[in-house]
Chain A
Amino acid sequence: MQTSAAIALSATNIHKSFGDAHVLKGISLEAHQGDVISILGASGSGKSTFLRCINLLETPDEGEVRLAGETIEMKRARDGRLHPGNRKQVDRIRSQLGMVFQSFNLWSHMTVLQNVTEGPLRVQKRARAECIEEAEQLLTKVGLYDKRDAYPAHLSGGQQQRVAIARALAMHPKVMLFDEPTSALDPELVGEVLRVMRALAEEGRTMLVVTHEMGFARHVSNRVMFLHQGQVDAEGTPEDLFNGRCSERFQQFVSSHHSRAAN
């Protein structure tokens, strides 16, 4: 099923160190169109760093990222590290990768509507009326149309995250990147964000989701990648992984999450 669709995004052999800490030790991933890939792992396993390497918020030391067949150009500096070769290309690729952050990162001086229209207006230079109309549709979709003139500080965490999702969608991204989108939320607010993400998955959007939500990984995503100490420890369909056909470490990880959820 997956193999029939075109490859939307691929990351090959990504390495990243911070000082002496070798955080990513050669991680590769291929996302076909419509894939929803959950990236799991204990904290410090490198899953967020990997996601941030894909849109170059962190510059990988080694490796290659391709979006819809286009490779992000990298140059090797004198110290042997890679640097973005073409800033314009990086900006363009980033505009095709919607990113949702753990801490929402809405622009605090703009209203909800301005947050959603800013990218289309300033990056894609689309017509204002069209941007506003689409932003209002997206806000309706995430259930926040009536909050369009509110400022982020006046919203709950769950509402802010739904605005952040609308902001990412407004750019018509080819792939959506979610960096622990529910980790900063109160438990009672997690559901509203997951529901929106599930709706996106059902629309057939390509999504990479770094998460601790086992329910989402198991029931919504069609592939799961489990990172351990900067390496891929297990990878496969949720059926395979959650039904025990996988590494012992993954089973431990899952059972520790279940016992935590039970408390």
Chain B
Amino acid sequence: MTIDFEFLGDTLSKLLAAVPTTLGLFFASLLAGGLLSLVVVAMRVSRHWLPNRFARGYILVFRGSPLMIQMFLVYYGLGQFQAIRDSFAWPILRAPYACAIVSLALCTAGYTAEIIRGGLQSVPHGQIEAALACGMSRWTVLRRIIAPITLRHALPAYSTEAVLLIKSTALASLVTVWEVTGVAQQIIQRTYRTMEVFICAALIYLVLNFIVVRALGMLEKKLSPHLRDRNGAAPKKAARQVANEATVPDAHQIDS
């Protein structure tokens, strides 16, 4: 098999033209799913049984069933109900692009809620107590202490979720959204050249994911200077040494 550069170039340019659609799906569902996940996680950590059970059920359903089936149910299934066709949501649910975003967002919200919950649980209780003890209101504690620490702990797992979400946008081709994978399949149906086309498509996803991972990695690094060693030296030992020098001679009198 010889390499047909002209065909590769032509394929790549066609696929690149579909990248905005893929990115649109990604960012819209990331944003909507992120906001929805905050609602779900708030219900999930609620002490009241009703929101708690509801959130558990939500997470079970959307993590536990295939995204493809969820997408088919939203796109083909909801339109079967007259009530939905009459409702305000129909202009949205009629469009394949919007259906894809809705189902991607619903699904990622389930996963993200669990990631955030893990981050919440990692907040040391003592730091919350210290905030309460200095008189912060519960809202201030959430905003100034719990949320920043949760964000820092959740970010590594969240970057995995973002990568999975980019790859999940490929499923939108099944509900006739012409994003990168959909366009790739169109080209294959015309040319029967599976290898070149899918490799080009895979490369595009690889580059997108590389950018996403790097961007979130930089954010993580920027937010966590306290987890990095200063000046690359082992910080604990250095600190200990300084402490010893600073120890005061009359300390033993108190301690006697």
Say if A and B assemble together: yes
The interface of chain A, by Cβ under 8 A from chain B, is 55, 57, 87-88, 91-99, 101, 103-109, 118-119, 122-123, 143, 150-156, 158-159, 164, 167-168, 171, 188-192, 194-195, 198, 213, 215-216, 219-220
How far apart sit A122 and B100, CA to CA, in the bound complex (Å)?
43
**Nearest CB to that of B149 among chain A residues?**
A109
The contact of B135 among A108, A123, A215, by CB within 8 Å, is A123
How far apart sit A208 and B6, CA to CA, in the bound complex (Å)?
82
The contact of B230 among A87, A143, A150, A168, by CB within 8 Å, is A150
With both chains docked as a complex, state the minimum distance between the C-beta of B222 and any C-beta of chain A, in angstroms: 12
Identify which of residues 119-164 in chain B touch chain A, using a CB-to-CB cut-off of 8 Å.
124, 126-127, 129-138, 140, 144-145, 148-149, 152
The contact of A107 among B127, B230, B239, B250, by CB within 8 Å, is B127
Q: Which residues of B contact A87 (CB under 8 A)?
A: 137-138
A-B contact pairs, 14 of them (CB 8 A): A57-B133, A92-B135, A101-B133, A107-B130, A108-B149, A109-B148, A122-B136, A122-B144, A123-B135, A143-B246, A154-B226, A158-B243, A189-B243, A194-B251
Q: Which residues of A contact B235 (CB under 8 A)?
A: 153-154
Asked if residues A156 and B144 are in contact (CB atoms below 8 Å), the reply is no
Q: Which residues of A contact B69 (CB under 8 A)?
A: none
Asked if residues B226 and A106 are in contact (CB atoms below 8 Å), the reply is no
Q: Indicate with 1 or 0, residue by residue over B231-256, a CB within 8 angstroms of chain A CB atoms.
A: 00001100110111011101111111
Asked if residues A155 and B133 are in contact (CB atoms below 8 Å), the reply is no
Asked if residues A123 and B140 are in contact (CB atoms below 8 Å), the reply is yes
How far apart sit A153 and B36, CA to CA, in the bound complex (Å)?
34
With both chains docked as a complex, state the minimum distance between the C-beta of B186 and any C-beta of chain A, in angstroms: 48
Q: Which residues of A contact B126 (CB under 8 A)?
A: 101, 103-105
Asked if residues A189 and B140 are in contact (CB atoms below 8 Å), the reply is no
**Nearest CB to that of B125 among chain A residues?**
A105
Query: At the interface, yes or no: B227 with Cβ under 8 Å from chain A?
Result: yes
Chain B interface secondary structure, helix, strand, loop or mixed?
helix
**Nearest CB to that of A109 among chain B residues?**
B148
Asked if residues A153 and B227 are in contact (CB atoms below 8 Å), the reply is yes
The interface of chain B, by Cβ under 8 A from chain A, is 124, 126-127, 129-138, 140, 144-145, 148-149, 152, 223-227, 230, 235-236, 239-240, 242-244, 246-248, 250-256
Asked if residues B133 and A97 are in contact (CB atoms below 8 Å), the reply is yes
Q: Which residues of A contact B131 (CB under 8 A)?
A: 107
Given contacts A94-B133, A158-B243, A167-B134, 6 further A-B contacts (CB under 8 A): A57-B129, A95-B135, A106-B127, A159-B239, A171-B134, A194-B255
How far apart sit A226 and B136, CA to CA, in the bound complex (Å)?
32
With both chains docked as a complex, state the minimum distance between the C-beta of A79 and any C-beta of chain B, in angstroms: 15
**Nearest CB to that of B133 among chain A residues?**
A99
Q: Which residues of B contact A122 (CB under 8 A)?
A: 136, 140, 144
Q: Which residues of B contact A92 (CB under 8 A)?
A: 135
How far apart sit A88 and B136, CA to CA, in the bound complex (Å)?
10
Q: Which among A96, A98, A122 has the greatest number of chain B C-beta atoms within 10 A?
A: A122
Asked if residues A219 and B254 are in contact (CB atoms below 8 Å), the reply is yes
Asked if residues A188 and B247 are in contact (CB atoms below 8 Å), the reply is yes
Asked if residues A99 and B226 are in contact (CB atoms below 8 Å), the reply is no
Asked if residues B246 and A99 are in contact (CB atoms below 8 Å), the reply is no
The contact of A94 among B132, B140, B253, B254, by CB within 8 Å, is B132
Q: Which residues of A contact B254 (CB under 8 A)?
A: 191, 194-195, 198, 213, 215-216, 219-220
5 cross-chain pairs, A with B, having the tightest CB-CB distances, nearest first: A191-B251, A95-B135, A151-B226, A105-B126, A105-B130
Q: Which residues of B contact A118 (CB under 8 A)?
A: 134, 144
How far apart sit A119 and B248, CA to CA, in the bound complex (Å)?
29
How far apart sit A220 and B250, CA to CA, in the bound complex (Å)?
13
Asked if residues B129 and A119 are in contact (CB atoms below 8 Å), the reply is no
Q: Which residues of B contact A101 (CB under 8 A)?
A: 126, 129-130, 133
How far apart sit A107 and B230, CA to CA, in the bound complex (Å)?
18
Q: Which residues of A contact B236 (CB under 8 A)?
A: 154, 156
How far apart sit A32 and B235, CA to CA, in the bound complex (Å)?
43
Asked if residues B248 and A107 are in contact (CB atoms below 8 Å), the reply is no
How far apart sit A151 and B143, CA to CA, in the bound complex (Å)?
20
Q: Which residues of A contact B252 (CB under 8 A)?
A: 191
Q: Which residues of A contact B246 (CB under 8 A)?
A: 143, 192
Asked if residues A195 and B248 are in contact (CB atoms below 8 Å), the reply is yes
